[in-house]
Amino acid sequence: MKSLANSIFILILTLLFSHTRIINLPSVAAITSMKPGDELNHSQVLDSEGGKFKLGFFSISQTNNYYLGIWYAGDPQDKKLWIANPNTPLLNNSGLLTIDTTGTLKITSGGKTVVNITPPLLTRSSIARLQGSGILVLQDETQNRTLWQSFDHPTDTLFPGMKLGYNLTTKQNWTLTSWLSSYIPASGAFTLSLESIQGAFQLVIRRRGEVYWISGAWRNQSFPLLTALHDSSNRYQYNLNLVSEKDDVFFQFDAPDGSFPSLELNFNGAIVGGGEDSRVYALYNEFCYGYESHDGCVSNQLPECRKDGDKFKQKSGDFIDRSTTNSYDNASTSLGDCMKRCWEHCSCVGFTTTSNGTGCIIWNGNGEFQVDESGNTVKKYVLVSSKSSNGKQKKWIWIVIVVAIVVPMLISGFICYSIVRRRKLQAEKRREEEYIRELTASDSFNDTNMKEKDGREVQDLKIFSFGFALAATSNFSSENKLGEGGFGPVYKGKFPDGREVAVKRLSRTSGQGLVEFKNELILIAKVQHTNLVRVLGCCIHEDEKMLIY
């Protein structure tokens, strides 16, 4: 239902639209070429071969200036792709495009030349055409030779077929130049060029000649910061291309049919791609300050008084101290120039431009600003010194966090550890004492000097401390090791009184419990008259049991 309704709606729109077109179209055939003596006035357009592009006069209502330009036929944004006279506007709609007798393509008004679009080409057989790709060309008809083409003189926009780059042989350099402001196409502060930086091709934005932004090196059919242009989420999937031949290096792009592809260097120094509703920005920040290391902004030495994180924010309102305003009424400066001027002057706390986007108004002083909640006051760029996001302050915050959280954690952790350890040691000691009590509860321990049948005295068994065993065997050193028995290693040792002993460390894994140990000990003590070695006693440490001979 919905799609049917949509279709009907579109059908009605189409009928209405085509109807008005029929009424408005002049009865004369579309103009597709011009020869010397022909004129194109304000109400006429030159159609491209195939009809995709148009060339004609247009005005910018905010300034009431007139320009000659090229645009996509049917582009809802009506974006101007190329302008013949960006720096020489016409002040009224009486401009005419003509080719004079020297073969020069020019704009006249009131019988006088306003601007020569081409140099004098000195041919009577030149013919101007808007080719199917949107290039305005001037050709020598008899020699079938291109004399001049608009693609060699880009303004602020690149569209499919145009080149951004250079030809070392011809010294041709195709670069884009931003508009001065959103209403003034005159050359602004920024240029976009293709340059080789450290052996890699990059797109470079310069502000008044100084490198301002770089796209990253060309790889995998793209520039890292322009990947949004062919991202699958973008409606227009641009196909980027870099051609590098001997003396010829250029960047180009194309896009699927049915769209109005363009790449514009806007007056703020940002690359804007797209058309209709989807616009893709290559530079997300409004300005580059020189401390960013992402987004392609080139790092720069900061002025002494500026720090990392300082930035300009657009705010509606007024500076309280109005006595500190300076104006620079230079019609060739733009927002980007004013930003630089303010950023580099320590006393500057804010700036703006005049209403048409040229000239600078600069505020100095304490920077106290009264925000106008209604938003009706002209917006100004106000310096915001973000103290909390300042690098040094950040460090301090981290140090405070460490002191406030980590240190108490460490201390309490240490206390817990000590308590647990002490308890563990106490428990071990208790267990050892219990062992010893158990052991000494046996017969042979009780009856010291127990008499055997043959009347020989049985040595009383002693319990030695672990430290004693350690000292006797030099910490169970491998040199003292005599061998490895079935139940564990045997070490040679020496008592402080000089007696030589052997210490058998019963392996922990032997699984011998207290009862077995006790029995073994008593058994050995009882039968030792047949042995050469006598059991002197035992030693118990944690889980370990030792026999000392």
Ligand X SMILES: *[C@@H]1O[C@H](CO)[C@@H](O)[C@H](O)[C@H]1NC(C)=O
Are 333 and 326 in contact by the 8 Å Cβ rule? The answer is no
Q: Is 149 in the site for ligand X (CB under 6 A)?
A: no
227: nearest Cα among 208, 512, 217, 261? 217
Part of the chain binding ligand X (CB under 6 A), chosen from 165-173, 343-351, 530-538, 541-549: 165-173
Nearest to 365 by CA among 319, 405, 304, 305: 319
* Binding residues for ligand X restricted to 200-219, rule: CB under 6 A: 206
CA dist 262 and 341 (Å) reads 31
Stretch that binds ligand X, among 262-270, 356-364, 469-477, 521-529 (CB under 6 A): 356-364
Establish if 3 lies at the interface with ligand X (CB under 6 A). Answer: no
Our finding on whether 90 is near ligand X (CB under 6 A) is yes
- Within 13 Å of residue 78, how many CA atoms lie on the same side as its CB? 5
Closest CA to 217 of 200, 241, 193: 200
**Residue whose CB is less far from ligand X, 45 or 538:** 45
Residue 518, SS3?
A: helix
| Residue 110 is a binding residue for ligand X (CB under 6 A) | yes
Count Cα atoms within 13 angstroms, Cβ side, for 36.
15
Region near ligand X per CB under 6 A, out of 105-113, 281-289, 344-352, 457-465:
105-113
One of 113, 330, 366, 386 touching ligand X (CB under 6 A): 330
Q: Which of 239, 332, 347, 528 binds ligand X (CB under 6 A)?
A: 332
Taking the complex as a whole, the smallest distance from the CB of residue 270 to ligand X amounts, in Å, to 17
Interacting residue with ligand X among 63, 133, 512, 528 (CB under 6 A):
63
Q: Please give the Cα distance from 318 to 62 (Å, whole number).
A: 25
Q: Is residue 109 close enough to count as binding ligand X by CB under 6 A?
A: yes
Residue 76, number of CB atoms within 10 A of its CB: 10
Check residue 187 for interaction with ligand X (CB under 6 A). Answer: no
Q: Are 381 and 312 in contact (CB under 8 A)?
A: yes
Partners of 254 in the β-ladder: 239
Contact map string, positions 218 to 257, toward ligand X, x by CB under 6 A: --x--------------------------xx---------
Judged by CB under 6 A, which of 42, 129, 494, 534 binds ligand X?
Answer: 42
Amino acid letter for position 519: N
- Strands of the 39-40 sheet, one edge to the other: 39-40, 95-99, 105-109, 112-116
87 binds ligand X (CB under 6 A): no
Provide the binding-site residues for ligand X, judged by CB under 6 A: 41-44, 63, 90-92, 94, 109-110, 112, 114, 144, 166-167, 169-170, 173, 175, 184, 191, 193, 195, 206, 220, 247-248, 330-333, 337, 354, 356, 358-359
